[in-house]
Amino acid sequence: MKKLCFILLFSMMTLAGMQCAAQVTFLRGRADADTIAVGQPFDYQLSLTIPKDYYVEWGQFGDTLSKSIDVLNVGDITTTPISNSDNVIMSQHLTLTSFDTGYVYVPEIGVTYSKSLQDSLRFTLYTNEAELYVTTVAVDTTQAFRPIKTVIRQNVTAKEVFPWVVVALVIAGIVYLIIRRKKHPKVKEKVVEEKKKPVIPAIVTARAKLAEMRDNESWNSSKTKDYYTDLTDIAREYLEGQFEIDAVEMTTDEIMEAVNTLNINSLTKEKLHETLVTADFVKFAKANPTAEQNKKSFTDINGFVEDSYEYYKEEEKKKEEK
């Protein structure tokens, strides 16, 4: 009986070990050199072993990794399957350098992963800190200093003279035309007036763009960020054209501060404010509203445009009656 229990326990441990081996996950960072001259580029490779179906978020690199390590180039991420395994190796090459001397360190680099994109449980792996020695440029102090050489004058070439000849000919041509014009003035110059293009009212443009979005049912688009960008751009351009509010260059708070100076009812202003705030969350916090929320934002902007235009017409009527 004891022997049977031991065999069962051993089998369970073996199966668990095989499952762990099939889903092993680790990150490695390796530099191709441990000593470089100051400013000399060197390669640094990131290698991530992970199950092929996992979701991975690679870090974004700027110009530096630390105050001592500069980033010269960031390579693409490549994926290589591992034979007889459910794992893959994901690699990325970085070209780095350092302008400090002595011992410097490539800092820890983190990579975040989860079992799937929808899985809210995230894990982060970090590389080990890598030590690197940076040497200075050798200077031979036994050699005597050489004197500064004077400027050596060269003969003038045709290539150097040619641009000046062209400039002189152009100036001569301009002088000739001025003199000729004074000697032979035109009897009468015809003044050609440019036809000014008619200015399309802001309300007409806004209504046309909103109608196009309504016809396309843009609120069902998977490109939520583009949808909110187009929707808020219509509102910003309308405010600029109808009320001379420079909304295109303003933040949400600045726009609402300017709109509050207009005697528009609070419900109308709230429609604009809610949509602008939602758009900010989509653009900067990667929020993902539902199609119903997207349609409500469209309805709110459309309502704001129409209600504020009614206010504009009433104000213009009051001015005419004075």
Which candidate, 116, 111, 96, places its Cα nearest to that of 49? 111
pLDDT single digits (tens) 221-230? 888 999 999 9
Instruction: Give the model's pLDDT for residue 105.
Output: 92
pLDDT average, residue stretch 267-294: 89
pLDDT average, residue stretch 20-34: 75
Amino acid at 301: I
Q: What is the mean pLDDT of the chain?
A: 84
Q: Which of 92-101, 143-152, 160-169, 251-260 has the lowest mean pLDDT?
A: 143-152
Burial class (CB in 10 A: 0-12, 13-18, 19+), 256: middle
Instruction: Give the model's pLDDT for residue 22.
Output: 42
pLDDT single digits (tens) 61-89? 889 989 989 999 999 999 999 988 889 99
Strands (E), the chain: 26-31, 35-37, 42-51, 55-57, 70-81, 87-97, 102-106, 110-114, 123-126, 130-135
Query: Under DSSP, is residue 298 helix (H, G, I), strand (E, B) or coil?
Result: helix
Report the range out of 89-93, 133-137, 141-145 with the highest average pLDDT: 89-93
pLDDT average, residue stretch 312-319: 86
pLDDT average, residue stretch 292-297: 91
- Report which of residues 173 and 3 the model is more confident about: 173
Q: Where are the domains of the chain?
A: 20-135, 202-317
Rounded to whole angstroms, how far apart are CA atoms 286 and 154?
64
pLDDT single digits (tens) 142-178? 676 677 777 776 677 777 788 888 889 899 989 888 8
Amino acid at 309: Y
Contacts of residue 236, defined as CB under 8 A and 6 or more positions apart, other chains included, come to 247, 248, 250, 255
pLDDT single digits (tens) 171-211? 998 988 888 887 766 555 444 455 566 788 989 999 999 99
Instruction: Give the model's pLDDT for residue 14.
Output: 46
Q: Which CATH superfamily is domain 20-135 in?
A: Zona pellucida, ZP-C domain (2.60.40.4100)
Helices 266-284 and 252-259 meet at what angle, rounded to 10?
A: 170
Which candidate, 33, 77, 27, 65, places its Cα nearest to that of 47? 27
What are phi and psi for residue 89, nearest 5 degrees? -110, 120
Instruction: Give the model's pLDDT for residue 59.
Output: 82
Alpha helices by DSSP H, listed for 56-201, are 158-183
Which candidate, 94, 87, 103, places its Cα nearest to that of 72? 94
Instruction: Give the model's pLDDT for residue 3.
Output: 53
Does the pLDDT at position 57 exceed 80?
Answer: yes
